[in-house]
């Protein structure tokens, strides 16, 4: 009788949806369209066809006439291309991390900033800017390194605090620990800013987020972390599907829930910290993109994770294009644009989270 019931339950349980070729093609197409749009439009408009041809000329053995002038080619290759590539990497990391956090915590409102990443990075940057303003000597640590160190330090502090009452680091305990750590670090940052008001402008310009880059340095900084994060998180997509049904059933299926959850959190935090270190604080990407995909394709992480990576990259490049062009001559901080888009979406998620499984 028990065996028959178990078999019936096994047959009735829905099989997680796989990544369909049509969804993957749509994600790749979105990245291509966003890339061409980000490269072609701005304060100086370039013909999209010419932009596409000029990018093809970067391939070995390809030599085509793009029709772009030398000045237009310089704008494309030296200014816009590094910025668009940086936007692709940052957007993919934030969206992928958001999806991973939501699965690991079984919380539809989980976000890359949930466990103290934003507060830690903000405090690290504030310390460096304040120290730099008070001395003429060259500091051994720069803003990106300080942001990365602060973000990783905050995650470790959340980790330790989550186990302060024992060995159990449940999703709820980690979330509460992250809230406490974020409040503590934000208070420290506010104190420093109050004591050094001359640094307010520089700190807040970083906190509002930006993708401005003078070359390929920031891209090279984030690239290794992006590759490592994507490789680890994408290999855990089946485990995330199992975690959604609960730890007890995951154990019965031969999975180690805590080990899988720790691996996901470390990888997602690593990618988020790297992204934050070069772009500043850009919020809501980790909520908007995964939830939109979940509404369209279903809750399976086999499809959700790779599609979050692709559509997150496209989303941030298009958002950056909006930030560069919507304000006329003055560029709007990209963090402000994502907040305008994300706040209403966050309310929508809160209202529908009971109906949409994670």
Tokens of 206: 């970083």
DSSP states of 322-339: HHHHTTTTSPPPHHHHHH
- Given a contact cutoff of 8 angstroms between Cβ atoms, the answer to whether 226 and 95 are in contact is no
- Contact, 99 vs 117, CB < 8 A? no
pLDDT in tens, the chain (358 residues): 444 444 444 444 445 567 889 999 999 999 999 999 999 998 889 999 999 999 999 998 888 888 999 999 999 999 999 999 999 999 999 999 999 999 888 877 778 877 888 889 889 989 988 888 766 556 667 888 888 889 889 988 988 887 765 555 667 787 888 889 999 999 999 999 898 888 888 888 888 888 887 689 889 989 999 999 999 999 999 889 888 877 777 777 777 888 888 899 889 988 998 898 889 889 899 999 999 999 888 889 999 999 999 999 999 999 999 999 987 778 899 999 998 998 888 787 777 655 444 4
Q: What is the token pair recorded at 156?
A: 């470790």
* Nearest-10 Cα torsion for 183, 185, 189, 195: 90
C-alpha 262: how far from its chain's center?
Answer: 18
* Number of other residues whose CB lies within 10 A of the CB of residue 214: 10
**Nearest residue to 40 via CA among 52, 23, 30:** 52
In the 3-class helix/strand/coil scheme, how is 151-218 assigned residue by residue? HHHHHHHHHHHHCCCCCCCCHHHHHHHHHHHHHHHHHHHHHHHHHCHHHHHHHHHHHCCCCCCCCCHH
Residue 241's SS3 state is: helix
Place of tokens 């958001």: 98
Whether residue 334 contacts residue 278, with contact meaning beta carbons closer than 8 Å, is answered with no
pLDDT at 74: 93
Q: Domains, the chain, ranges and CATH?
A: 34-73 (no CATH), 80-352 (1.10.3470.10)
Q: Which residues contact 3 (CB under 8 A, 6 or more apart)?
A: none
Nearest CA to 199 among 259, 129, 260?
Answer: 129
d(CA 329, CA 235): 44
pLDDT of residue 136: 59
């Amino acid at each position: 009788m028990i065996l028959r019931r178990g078999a019936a339950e096994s047959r009735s349980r829905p099989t997680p949806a796989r990544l369909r070729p049509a969804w993957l093609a749509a994600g790749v197409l979105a990245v291509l369209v966003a890339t061409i749009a980000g490269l072609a439009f701005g304060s100086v408009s370039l013909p999209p066809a010419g932009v596409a041809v000029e990018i093809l000329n970067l391939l070995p053995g390809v030599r085509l006439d793009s029709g772009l002038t030398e000045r237009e080619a310089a704008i494309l290759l030296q200014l816009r291309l590094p910025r668009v590539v940086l936007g692709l990497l940052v957007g993919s990391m934030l969206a992928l991390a958001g999806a991973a956090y939501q699965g690991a915590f079984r919380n539809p409102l989980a976000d890359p900033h949930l466990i103290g990443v934003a507060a830690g990075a903000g405090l690290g940057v504030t310390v460096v800017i304040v120290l730099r303003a008070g001395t003429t000597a060259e500091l051994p640590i720069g803003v990106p390194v300080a942001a990365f160190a602060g973000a990783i330090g905050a995650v470790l502090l959340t980790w330790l605090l989550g186990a302060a009452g024992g060995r159990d680091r449940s999703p709820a305990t980690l979330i509460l620990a992250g809230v406490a750590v974020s409040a503590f670090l934000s208070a420290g940052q506010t104190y420093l800013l109050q004591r050094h008001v001359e640094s307010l402008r520089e700190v807040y310009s970083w906190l509002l987020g930006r993708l401005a880059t003078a070359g390929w340095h920031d891209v090279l900084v984030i690239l290794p972390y992006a590759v490592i994060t994507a490789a680890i998180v994408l290999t855990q997509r089946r485990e995330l599907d199992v975690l959604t049904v609960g730890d007890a059933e995951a154990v019965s299926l031969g999975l180690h829930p805590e080990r899988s959850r720790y691996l996901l959190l470390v990888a997602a935090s690593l990618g988020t910290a790297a992204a934050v270190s070069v772009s500043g604080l850009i919020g809501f990407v980790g909520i908007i993109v995964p939830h939109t995909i979940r509404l369209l394709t279903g809750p399976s992480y086999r499809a959700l994770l790779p599609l979050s990576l692709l559509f997150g990259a496209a989303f941030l490049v298009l958002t950056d294009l909006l930030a560069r062009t919507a304000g006329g001559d003055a560029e709007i901080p990209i963090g402000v644009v994502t907040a305008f888009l994300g706040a209403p979406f966050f309310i929508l998620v809160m209202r529908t989270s009971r109906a949409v499984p994670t």
